[in-house]
């Protein structure tokens, strides 16, 4: 699949995707059914995509980190945790602990992770994390429609399935 074409499709369908997410919030399938189906659709979409050809999530999304992520990353970099925090950690507008800059400071050649084995859990779980308690994360799902081609494909397919 051509990632450029998927991104164009996302830009032209952004308003419809936002409206669809609002519909899901109030009238969509039950939360469990929605989570299961979205996860399946994300898996299908990811099967046909090469994330290293895109890496938009690394350039455009906040990388939320946990204390365990900081420990793992600082070990990989051979840094003390306090030094790692000072150099790389800040807060998002939502107050989440995250990397203090975009793109991700560990992005190599604009598409690969320098410390892939030590990457934060949110990176390991993306985009599947959007399909856990999805109804509570519809704003994130909608925002990632423009960022992640897999989210674009999955959400468009779900909208087609529900005939909207």
Question: What's the rounded mean pLDDT across residues 83-103?
Answer: 94
Question: What's the rounded mean pLDDT across residues 118-125?
Answer: 96
In angstroms, what CA-CA distances link 147 with 3, 57, 83, 89?
11, 6, 31, 22
pLDDT tens for 148-159 read: 999 999 999 999
Question: What's the rounded mean pLDDT across residues 72-92?
Answer: 97
pLDDT tens for 1-57 read: 789 999 999 999 999 999 999 999 999 999 999 999 999 999 999 998 999 889 999
Residues 6+ apart with CB under 8 A from 8: none
Instruction: For residues 72 and 123, give the distance between their C-alpha atoms in angstroms, rounded to a whole number.
Output: 13
Give the pLDDT confidence score for residue 44 in this predicted structure. 96
Element (H, E) at 113: strand 112-113
Give the pLDDT confidence score for residue 48 in this predicted structure. 86
Instruction: Name the band, by pLDDT with cuts 50, 70 and 90, for residue 110.
Output: confident
Does residue 164 have a pLDDT over 80? no
Give the pLDDT confidence score for residue 35 in this predicted structure. 97
% of residues, the chain, pLDDT over 90: 89
Give the pLDDT confidence score for residue 121 in this predicted structure. 97
- The answer to whether the CB of 76 falls within 8 A of the CB of 88 is no
Rounded to the nearest integer, the mean pLDDT of the chain is 94
| C-beta neighbour count of 137 within 10 angstroms | 17
Give the pLDDT confidence score for residue 138 in this predicted structure. 94
């Amino acid at each position: 699949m051509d990632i450029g074409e998927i991104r164009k499709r996302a830009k032209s369908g952004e308003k419809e995707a936002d409206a669809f997410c609002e519909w899901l919030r109030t009238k969509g399938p039950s939360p469990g059914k929605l989570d299961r189906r979205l996860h399946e659709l994300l898996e299908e979409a990811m099967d046909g995509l090469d994330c290293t050809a895109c890496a938009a999530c690394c350039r455009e999304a906040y990388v939320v980190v946990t204390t365990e992520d900081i420990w793992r990353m600082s070990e990989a970099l051979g840094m003390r945790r306090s030094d790692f925090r000072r150099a790389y950690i800040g807060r998002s507008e939502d107050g989440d602990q995250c990397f203090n800059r975009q793109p991700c400071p560990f992005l190599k050649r604009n598409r690969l992770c320098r410390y892939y084995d030590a990457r934060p859990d949110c990176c390991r779980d993306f985009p599947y994390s959007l399909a856990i308690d999805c109804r509570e994360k519809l704003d994130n799902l909608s925002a990632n429609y423009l960022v992640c081609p897999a989210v674009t494909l999955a959400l468009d397919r779900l909208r087609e399935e529900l005939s909207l």
